[in-house]
Amino acid sequence: MVELTGVSQRYGDVTALSDADLTIARGELIAIVGPSGSGKSTLLNIMGTLSRPSGGTVRVDGHDVAKLSDRELSALRAGTVGFVFQQFHLSPGVSALDSAADGLLYSGRPRADRRRAAEVALRRVGLGHRLFHEPHQLSGGEKQRVAIARAVAGGPSPASGQAGPRLLLADEPTGALDSRSGAAVLELLHELHRAGTTVAVITHDRDIAASLPREVRLWDGRIEYDSAAPTTSGSGR
């Protein structure tokens, strides 16, 4: 699903990511862990095709990102990748249904079709009883589930055999939640993974990372450890 080879990202004199090699197979559930400033968000942006790297090769769902035009890149992102962030990014006064449908604004699908897809996604994350609730009427955990529904509403339709994006990138998805709500969101990500979605969870929480099947650790812009590569040397931080 994702293949990075020798990928670097520089901003002037600052190297945010250095010579990263990472392969994520289809259907994997992986944690990418590291402290603030370790390069996690930079890696997420590159994997999600939100930014192009300074060097190296990036392949997403079999496509060499460097060879895609901006239009082709947008189409790949819209149909393949879903994003969930620590901040829910829900607009005041907008219902859960319309917030989830907003994830399909650039899909070209009619409004009624977008709302139908959003309703399916909200029911999938257990919010069928909250379709018309606004953000101030939702708990933190429910707001995050709306954000996840927005992310998974896109991609191929259920009739195609794959509902939602093939790749879900979750950046600190439990960071703004209490422990109980955070555990519920993590269980939801596990459910999406069991349904066939490739899920990468970016986190600073080592306990969360250790609970997932595969753990990749970043430090100062370098991948220092990958549990899928036992021979990888690292400092063990």
pLDDT digits (tens, 9 = 90+) for 9-56: 999 999 999 999 999 999 999 999 999 889 999 999 999 999 999 999
- Find all residues with CB under 8 Å of 199, minimum gap 6, and list them: 28, 29, 30, 168, 170, 189, 192, 193
pLDDT of residue 233: 45
CA torsion 73→104→164→126, rounded to 10°?
150
pLDDT of residue 155: 53
Count other C-beta atoms under 10 Å from residue 9's C-beta. Answer: 22
pLDDT of residue 234: 47
Please report the domains of the chain, with CATH numbers, ordered by start residue.
2-226 (3.40.50.300)
Is the per-residue pLDDT at 200 higher than 90?
yes
226 vs 152, more confident: 226
Burial, 209: exposed, middle or buried (Cβ in 10 Å; 0-12, 13-18, 19+)? Answer: buried
Count other C-beta atoms under 10 Å from residue 185's C-beta. Answer: 22
pLDDT of residue 53: 95
Question: How far is residue 69 CA from its own chain's centroid?
Answer: 22
Distance CA 19, CA 115 (A): 42
What is the tens place of the pLDDT at every residue in 105-143? 766 788 898 899 999 989 988 899 999 999 999 999 999
Considering all CA atoms of the chain, what is the largest pairwise distance in Å, rounded to the nearest integer?
53
Query: Per-residue confidence at 230, pLDDT binned at 50, 70, 90?
Result: low
Identity of residue 114 = R
Is the per-residue pLDDT at 211 higher than 60?
yes
Instruction: Return the top range by mean pLDDT from 30-44, 72-86, 142-156.
Output: 30-44
pLDDT above 70: percentage of residues in the chain: 91
- Find all residues with CB under 8 Å of 140, minimum gap 6, and list them: 176, 177, 178, 181
Distance CA 165, CA 189 (A): 13
If you average pLDDT over every residue of the chain, what do you get? 88
